[in-house]
């Protein structure tokens, strides 16, 4: 989609190229529609045909108005709004397309990317002087493209699914894996190794500008985007890091400085958000299951600052797990989360006046899932499972309590210095312990089936 130029005396127009999906095996038959936004009326709705190229199609991944607002360009087509006439603006189109199943064009129509049924892709220029050949990257096909929070296992399965529409995978590949800049000088693509290669089509050079970290797995490319001035390239991808942390990142590259200008994490692993630059190029928009705008300078700046105060960063845990407990004790925020590397747990305090404090501790009772054990605090002590932590001073002191084996949950009564434990072995037994003397005060067995039978 594209808006028309904002000029005095010109109507505000919106153009969109869309493909009707009327049947299960709908062909790729794009339609250009144009609306007069001032009057809210459609002023054009024209099919975009390729005469004489029955077996090939031109994928439209950009659309734009001419500067005078009188015509719309997309793919190989030009639509004259005044004359209501569509023309194909490529000479020797059949020769340019060659044996390709699909093509897509640079905005200046001087470059054509050919896609055929093999993995090979060829970027040719209209003078056939400097072809660029490469293999297509892995293309993940999620037929309905609707699932948020898809886990890697689901995506691994779905990547082998076949799409019901024969042209869908090519469209997906073109819109996700490649991008021409608006001035047609640059062409960026993801590679089969999940790196990013940038071609300077004017200087006829190519450089691999980003490589994935060796420790990453399950890398899923989302898409690439240039800003309208062709000064910045952004791309986004999902990955799982060496800590099994699932994340989505946006990276930015300056075509002026030919260097990285930062990047930041979004979380939201399964969202498969795509990105586009906003009119203000300091913001990118992510879109798919939701729409959000991101100040690209802010998180990059934030990242640099956070590195200096590393203790405030929450990292190093498997984020697919529901693993971070958050609570207010007095006026401070406390987090409890597992440390995957040590197998212990971290209690982290965020104190407004004195900063962050961390305590790494082992708990025999908690095991891998702390959610079975509610925590409590009186503002001086934090108690969870078999552990109490004195939080009254900057140096958090920990005390471990003996609880029975196979304890499934506990509760503390801090004013009364009491700990109750529910133990599950052959029977379910409740224990009451004095926390100051570490002395068991009483036990009792619990039973429920008997009650249920009476009720039923």
Partner 1 sequence: MYVHLSQTANNLVHKASKALIVFDPAPVPKFLLVVTDDLDVVPLIHVSVFHVPSLKLEKIFSVNAPMMRLDPDLNGDISEQKLVFYGQQKDQNCCFLFIIDLENERGRAQVFPDFRHLVYIKSKNRMVSITTRGWVQSKTLEEMEVEALNHGETIFDGRTDASWVLENWKKLLYVPPSFLPSYESGFAVHAKGEVAYVSDLGKRLVQISFKW
- Partner residues linked to 356 by β-bridges: 350
Among residues 20 and 267, whose Cβ is nearest to partner 1? 267
The residues in 336-395 that bind partner 1, with binding defined as CB under 8 A, are 350, 369, 371-372, 374
The residues in 417-436 that bind partner 1, with binding defined as CB under 8 A, are 418, 420, 422, 424, 426-428, 430, 432
| Nearest distance from C-beta of residue 88 to partner 1, angstroms | 41
Among residues 277 and 412, whose Cβ is nearest to partner 1? 412
List the one residue from 144, 203, 395, 445 that touches partner 1 (CB under 8 A). Answer: 445
Q: Is 71 in the site for partner 1 (CB under 8 A)?
A: no
Question: Which residue in 182, 170, 191, 201 sits closest to 58, CA to CA?
Answer: 170
Task: Print the binding letters for residues 278-297 with partner 1: x by CB under 8 A, - otherwise.
Answer: --------x---xxxxx---
List the one residue from 265, 274, 281, 283 that touches partner 1 (CB under 8 A). Answer: 265
Q: Is 328 in the site for partner 1 (CB under 8 A)?
A: yes
Among residues 126 and 218, whose Cβ is nearest to partner 1? 218
Question: In the sheet that 217-226 helps form, which strands lie side by side, from edge to edge?
Answer: 217-226, 232-240, 246-254, 259-265
Among residues 195 and 406, whose Cβ is nearest to partner 1? 406
The residues in 191-220 that bind partner 1, with binding defined as CB under 8 A, are none
Question: Which residue in 237, 233, 194, 198 sits closest to 214, CA to CA?
Answer: 194
Tell me the C-alpha distance between 273 and 226, whole Å. 16
Name the CA radius of gyration of the chain, rounded.
30
Which CA distances in Å does 387 have to 341, 359, 365?
20, 12, 9
Q: Is 62 in the site for partner 1 (CB under 8 A)?
A: no
Q: Is 59 in the site for partner 1 (CB under 8 A)?
A: no
DSSP 289: S
Tokens found for residue 150 = 């898809």
Tell me the C-alpha distance between 201 and 194, whole Å. 21
Among residues 173 and 332, whose Cβ is nearest to partner 1? 332
Q: Is 189 in the site for partner 1 (CB under 8 A)?
A: no
| Nearest distance from C-beta of residue 341 to partner 1, angstroms | 16
Residue 11 makes CB contacts below 8 A (sequence gap 6+) with 4, 36, 37, 38, 39, 69
Pairing state between β 102-105 and 57-58:
parallel
Q: Is 309 in the site for partner 1 (CB under 8 A)?
A: no
Among residues 106 and 377, whose Cβ is nearest to partner 1? 377
| Nearest distance from C-beta of residue 431 to partner 1, angstroms | 8
SS3 state at 392: coil
Q: Which stretch binds partner 1 (CB under 8 A): 93-101, 174-182, 235-243, 262-270?
A: 262-270
Tell me the C-alpha distance between 209 and 198, whole Å. 7
The Cα diameter of the chain in Å comes to 93
Q: Is 239 in the site for partner 1 (CB under 8 A)?
A: no
The residues in 132-161 that bind partner 1, with binding defined as CB under 8 A, are 149
């Amino acid at each position: 989609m594209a808006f028309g130029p904002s000029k005095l005396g010109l109507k505000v127009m919106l153009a969109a190229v869309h493909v009707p999906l009327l049947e299960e095996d709908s062909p790729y038959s794009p339609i250009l529609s144009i609306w007069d936004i001032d009057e809210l009326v459609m002023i054009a709705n024209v099919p975009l045909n390729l005469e004489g190229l029955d077996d090939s199609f031109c994928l439209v991944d950009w659309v734009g108005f001419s500067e005078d607002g009188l015509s719309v360009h997309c793919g190989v087509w030009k639509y004259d709004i005044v004359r209501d006439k569509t023309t194909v603006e490529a000479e020797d189109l059949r020769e340019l397309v060659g044996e390709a199943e699909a093509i897509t064009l640079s905005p200046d129509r001087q470059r054509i990317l050919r896609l055929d049924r093999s993995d090979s892709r060829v970027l040719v220029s209209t003078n056939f002087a400097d072809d660029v050949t490469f293999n297509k990257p892995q293309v993940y096909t999620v037929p309905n493209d609707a699932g948020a929070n898809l886990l890697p296992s689901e995506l691994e399965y779905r990547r082998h699914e076949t799409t019901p529409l024969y042209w869908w995978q090519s469209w997906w590949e073109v819109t996700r894996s490649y991008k021409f800049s608006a001035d047609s000088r640059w062409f960026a693509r993801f590679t089969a190794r999940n790196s990013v290669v940038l071609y300077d089509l004017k200087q006829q050079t190519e450089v691999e500008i980003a490589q994935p970290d060796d420790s990453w797995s399950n890398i899923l490319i989302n898409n690439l985007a240039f800003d309208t001035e062709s000064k910045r390239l952004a791309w986004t991808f999902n990955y799982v890091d060496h800590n099994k942390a699932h994340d989505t990142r946006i990276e930015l590259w300056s075509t002026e400085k030919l260097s990285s200008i930062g990047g930041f994490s979004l979380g939201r692993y399964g969202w498969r958000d795509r990105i586009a630059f906003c009119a203000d190029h300091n913001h990118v928009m992510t879109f798919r299951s939701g729409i959000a705008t991101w100040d690209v300078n802010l998180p990059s700046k934030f990242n640099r600052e956070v590195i200096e105060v590393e203790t405030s960063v929450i990292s190093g845990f498997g984020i697919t797990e529901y693993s971070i407990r958050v609570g207010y004790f007095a006026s401070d925020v406390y987090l409890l989360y597992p440390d995957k590397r040590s197998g212990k747990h971290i209690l982290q305090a965020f104190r407004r006046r004195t900063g962050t404090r961390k305590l790494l501790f082992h708990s025999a009772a908690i095991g891998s899932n702390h959610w079975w054990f509610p925590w409590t605090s009186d503002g001086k002590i934090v108690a969870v499972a078999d552990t109490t932590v004195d939080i009254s001073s900057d140096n958090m002191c920990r005390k471990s309590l003996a609880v029975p084996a196979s304890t499934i949950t506990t509760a503390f009564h801090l004013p009364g210095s009491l700990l109750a434990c529910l133990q599950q072995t052959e029977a379910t037994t409740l224990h009451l312990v004095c926390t100051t003397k570490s002395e068991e005060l009483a036990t009792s067995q619990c039973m429920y089936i008997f009650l249920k039978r009476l009720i039923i």
